[in-house]
Amino acid sequence: MNTTRSGRPAVTRPDGTPLRVLVVDDDPDLAEVLTGALRYEGWEVRAAGDGASALSAARELLPDAVVLDVMLPDTDGFAVLRRLHEVKPDVCVLFLTARDAVEDRIAGITAGGDDYVTKPFSLEEVVARLRGLLRRAGMARQQEEGPRLTVGDLVMDEEAREVTRAGELIELSPTEFELLRFLMRNPRRVLSKAQILDRVWSYDFGGRAHVVELYISYLRKKVDAGREPMIHTVRGAGYVLKPVSR
C-alpha cells in the first residue's frame, strides 16, 4: 500500500498524479503551516495571500481544492469563490473562518463552498476534511495494494464494484458497498458508529446512529445470510468484520 509520510494511505488524483491544492490566507505563518501539512500528504500545493493573487494562481494551477480564508485584505472569500468557479467549476472549496456564527456558515455554503472549519483548528482536521471532500467529488482515489480486498472467503473487487462470498456474487447498493469496503479495510478492528458515520456518510447525518444500525442489518442479510456470520456487534463499542474461524 502506498502511504504518505504521515503513515496514512496516499490519496491521489484518479490518474495517480498528485492532488493540486491552493491555500489562500493573508496570514503568512498560517499559510506556510497549512502548505507544509498538505505537501506532507504528497500533494502539489500553492499559496496566495489575497484574492487577486489567488485567482492568478488558480489559473496556473487549476487546483482540485482550495483552502480559502473568508477574510482577505482586498476582498472576501465569497467573492473569490465565485471567480474560482469561473476558472474551474468543479473545484472543492474548504472555507477557513475566525467567525462561527450560523449566518457565516450558511453564507459560505450558499456561495458554493463545500465545507468549512473555524479557527483555531487542527491541521489534522483540515487534511481530513479535504481528503473527504475530494473523494466524494470523485477527484481523488485512495491508493491500495490492488483493486481487491479479501477477508476470509469474502472478496471485493473495488474497480468492478463486485463482492463475492465463497464465490457467490452479492448484490449491494452503493451505500452498502461503501460500508462493507470500510469494514473490509479494517478487518478485526472494532469500528464505532461515529467512525462509520464519518467515513461512509461524512458529516451529513450528524448523530443519527440508527442509520448505521439499519445498514449493518442490510449487510448482514446479504453477506451473512445462511452462512457463518462475519459481521459482529460489540456491545457498547461498535461493529467488527472477522473471517470465520476454522
pLDDT digits (tens, 9 = 90+) for 130-162: 888 887 777 766 654 446 888 999 999 887 788
pLDDT category at 1 given cuts 50, 70, 90 is very low
Nine cell digits for residue 22 = 491552493
Separation between Cα atoms, residue 22 and residue 183, nearest integer Å: 33
Model pLDDT for residues 20-46, shown as the tens digit of each residue: 999 999 999 999 999 999 998 889 999
Instruction: Report phi then psi at 36, rounded to 5.
Output: -65, -40
Q: Would you call 146 exposed, middle or buried from its count of C-beta atoms within 10 A (0-12, 13-18, 19+)?
A: exposed
Query: Is the confidence at residue 77, as pLDDT, over 80?
Result: yes
Separation between Cα atoms, residue 243 and residue 187, nearest integer Å: 8
Is 237 strand, coil or helix?
coil
The amino acid at 139: M
**All domains of the chain, ordered by start, with CATH?**
20-137 (3.40.50.2300), 148-241 (1.10.10.10)
Spell out the long-range contacts of 75-79 with Cβ–Cβ below 8 A and sequence spacing 24 or more.
Answer: 75/50, 75/51, 76/51, 77/24, 77/51, 77/108, 78/107, 78/108, 78/111, 79/51
Number of helices (H) and strands (E) in the chain: give both, helices first.
8, 13
Query: Is the confidence at residue 70, as pLDDT, over 80?
Result: yes
**pTM of the entire structure?**
0.57
DSSP strands (E only) in 145-216: 148-151, 154-157, 162-165, 168-170
Nearest Cα neighbor of 91 from 46, 122, 61 is 61
Separation between Cα atoms, residue 31 and residue 48, nearest integer Å: 8
Query: Is the confidence at residue 201, as pLDDT, over 80?
Result: no
